[in-house]
Amino acid sequence: MLGFKEIKNGLLVSLWFVFLTFPLMVVKVDPVERIVRWRWENSLYVAIGTFAVFLLVKIIIQRRSRNAAVDKEAEQKKESFIHRVLASPRQKFTLIALLLAVAIVFPLFSSSYQTNVMTTALMYVVLGLGLNIVVGMAGLLDLGYVAFYAVGAYSYALLNHHFDLGFWAVLPIGGGLAAIFGILLGFPVLRLRGDYLAIVTLGFGEIIRLVLENWSEFSKGPSGISNISRPGLFGIEFGLDGAIIYIYYLMIVFMIVTIFIVNRLQDSRLGRAWIALREDEIACQAMGIDKRKTKLVAFSLGAFWAGIIGVVFAAKTTFINPASFTFLESAIILAIVVLGGMGSIVGVIFGALILILLPEYLRALSEYRMLAFGAILVAMMVFRPQGLISNIRRTYHSDKKFPSPTQQ
Amino acid sequence: MAACFRFFFRDPGMDYFIELFCSGLTRGAIYALIALGYTMVYGIIGLINFAHGEIYMIGAFTAFIVATVLSIYGFPLLAIVILAGFAAVIWSSAYGYTVEKIAYRPLRHAPRLSPLISAIGMSIFLQNYVLLAQTSNFLPFPELIPEFAFMEPIAHIVGSTDIVILITTAVIMLILTIVIKGTKVGKAMRATSQDRTMAMLVGINVNRIISATFIIGSALAAVGGLLIASHIGQINFYIGFLAGIKAFTAAVLGGIGSIPGAVLGGLVLGLTESFATGYVSSDYEDVFAFSLLVLILIFKPSGLLGKAETKKV
């Protein structure tokens, strides 16, 4: 299976990585105490780790190419378990009902900490679905997504602080403001090509954060805004535990609404226009689709969801400051979309649950969270660009043989 | 000489202006060094190498580690400077080469968005790798450039480090120009950036040329990292992000893909930042750079010296 050559290459690669990581992993200096620590054991770990990863990758590649050679046809027909379940309506509804039941009873059987974690995961599901519209469907790489999230959060915090407006009143305002920001930014930049767009949105995200940090009269600067009121229900105020459970159920409802809307959008005229734009802009324009308008709608819809979740975030934590809206947050949401599968709704839900819950429950590994996110982005692009649960295009199969024009 | 300087620098308002001008030039020179890496890679494979800022950060960290270790073991200053510089260049180039091989080469024929996402992943990975392997604290960078005695009369306006940075940058630009215009590798690079398939047909090993581009770009970033770290005096794992974005701004400002453009863009950006922080407000230092970036991309996406791209079907 693995020949001598692979082993030799593996050793060479691990030797290269030992060299590569030598100054940063082995040497650690304390410039104040003037002490040098040599951590040689790290070199050993790097060597073993690289060797193992190298062999693993080789095995995967070998197996994949063998499979591809043997039966390409069968491989295509064999759909993943999830897709098979989703394909038959009965199984699909059973699964959804089961999940819903679990979701509803979940807070009754778990601590408020657990519920809180779950709420966060649900928020990321909705954020991921929002970004999925922009990145997955319309193919616009938005690296400043967190800016819209910040707009939503700050609009609730400020309106609540100054005018004492409630959660439900601000919810549409926050979403709307974020959408307006999306249009304002999108109008000039959407004619740029993909990679420029990515950088401009990144720059925009940073501008928003820096302004929030420095414009103290407006946003209270880095110290943030505290004592934001929690959401109420027709005038009923909840205690701390009650509010946590309430927000949890709220997020469940939001998620279901979002899934419903995004699902409908995907099959609509607009959704198909997005996918067409992603595939080929010029052909798409030739088909009579207004490029700018279509992109702008995708951009502002994505921003709208970010704004809504921003409002929920401010209400949930009751305290916000600019540190919650860094570029890393955008990167996490992007990682969710990429891991799950760009354009795939089920994929994004799984991606969010994996990426948010896993580090939460593996506390010991939470240090390595961002490291893993970076590695996931690279590995997914290299090995499985379609994501864990890829989006399957709807195709039309006909059993009847149509007579070709020449036979008529 | 000193009297002459004193004559020119009598007016305090003028002094301030010249001080800002010089610090702007220094900043601009560093931005230009990093921007060259962006622009060369973009010129050849049309990819925004998002991890370039991290390569620069790794260069600064390697220089920091080597310089500190050597100074603890009592080496003379000159040896420290040379060895730290070499180590920074070698390791940065090695990282640049490896990053290209792992994250970009398998995606050579993938859709445009894929290598960009992969690059973002690489950038996050490298940042956190340095954070975990070293520390998240700011580390004091040893002073590698001494205060020169002959600079004494104008030291309050132009520091010795500024002069060293400007001269080093100028020399490096000169060498780079010679390499690109004169040598076989440079010729192959220009050919590859014009038309990759055609370059392959005439017998250029395109993969090797792309690797060479990454290595040269990373080496330049490492020099930039070394210079700025000894200028500012402290480093941490996050410096690459901001420097990367600003250098990218410089590259776009000059016209991405154009080497003189990167230098011009770097200088313009450095001066703009310096004057804006000096005369307007220092709180919004980074906002100016980002706003400049957004404005250029909106009004003149091809940059100052770049060619407008026409898309053919």
Say if residue A311's pLDDT is above 70: yes
How sure is the predictor about A150, in pLDDT bands with cuts at 50, 70 and 90?
very high
Using a CB–CB cutoff of 8 Å, tell me whether A105 touches chain B: no
Using a CB–CB cutoff of 8 Å, tell me whether A202 touches chain B: yes
Q: Which of B243, B222, B99, B229 is nearest to B172 (CA)?
A: B222
Arithmetic mean of pLDDT, A109-127: 87
pLDDT for the residue A408: 44
- B114 compared with B151, residue with greater pLDDT: B114
The interface predicted TM-score (ipTM) is 0.83
Owner of token pair 């601000």: A170
Say if residue A178's pLDDT is above 90: yes
Contacts of A195 in chain B (CB under 8 A): 47-48, 112, 116
Q: Alpha-carbon distance B117 to B114, whole Å?
A: 5
Q: Alpha-carbon distance A69 to A72, whole Å?
A: 7
How sure is the predictor about B58, in pLDDT bands with cuts at 50, 70 and 90?
very high
Say if residue A309's pLDDT is above 90: yes
How sure is the predictor about A406, in pLDDT bands with cuts at 50, 70 and 90?
low
Domains and CATH numbers, chain A: 4-70 (no CATH), 110-383 (1.10.3470)
pLDDT for the residue A234: 67
Say if residue A83's pLDDT is above 80: no
pLDDT in tens, A24-48: 888 888 877 778 888 888 888 888 9
**Least confident window among A67-71, A125-129, A139-143:** A67-71
The DSSP symbol for A403 reads: P
Domain layout of chain B by residue ranges: 45-237, 247-304
pLDDT for the residue A407: 47
Say if residue A143's pLDDT is above 50: yes
Interface probe, candidates B41, B47, B52, B125, chain A, greatest A C-beta count within 10 A = B125
Highest mean pLDDT among A269-273, A361-365, A383-387: A269-273
Token pair listed for A77 = 């027909």
pLDDT for the residue A386: 76
pLDDT in tens, B101-111: 999 988 888 87
Give the three-class secondary structure for A28.
strand
DSSP string for A160-196: HHHH---HHHHHHHHHHHHHHHHHHHHHHHTTS-HHH
Contacts of A375 in chain B (CB under 8 A): 121, 125
DSSP string for B40-93: HHHHHH----TTHHHHHHHHHHHHHHHHHHHHHTT--HHHHHHHHHHHHHHHHH
Per-window interface: B 268-297 vs A, CB < 8 A? 283-284, 286-287, 290-291, 293-294, 297
How sure is the predictor about B88, in pLDDT bands with cuts at 50, 70 and 90?
very high
Say if residue A78's pLDDT is above 60: no
Arithmetic mean of pLDDT, B86-102: 93
Contacts of B283 in chain A (CB under 8 A): 214
Arithmetic mean of pLDDT, B231-256: 84
Q: Alpha-carbon distance A299 to A292, whole Å?
A: 10
pLDDT in tens, B16-39: 888 888 888 888 898 898 998 888
Arithmetic mean of pLDDT, A357-376: 79
Report the residue from A31, A199, A335 with minimal CB separation from B48.
A199
Using a CB–CB cutoff of 8 Å, tell me whether A222 touches chain B: no
Determine whether the interchain pair B112/A194 forms a contact, defined as Cβ–Cβ distance below 8 Å: yes
pLDDT for the residue A404: 54
pLDDT in tens, A199-246: 888 888 888 888 888 887 777 878 888 777 777 766 666 677 778 888
Highest mean pLDDT among A176-180, A381-385, B275-279: A176-180
How sure is the predictor about B278, in pLDDT bands with cuts at 50, 70 and 90?
confident
- A167 compared with B92, residue with greater pLDDT: B92
Say if residue A8's pLDDT is above 90: no
- B6 compared with B296, residue with greater pLDDT: B296
Q: Which residue of A has its CA nearest to B97?
A: A20
The DSSP symbol for B182 reads: H
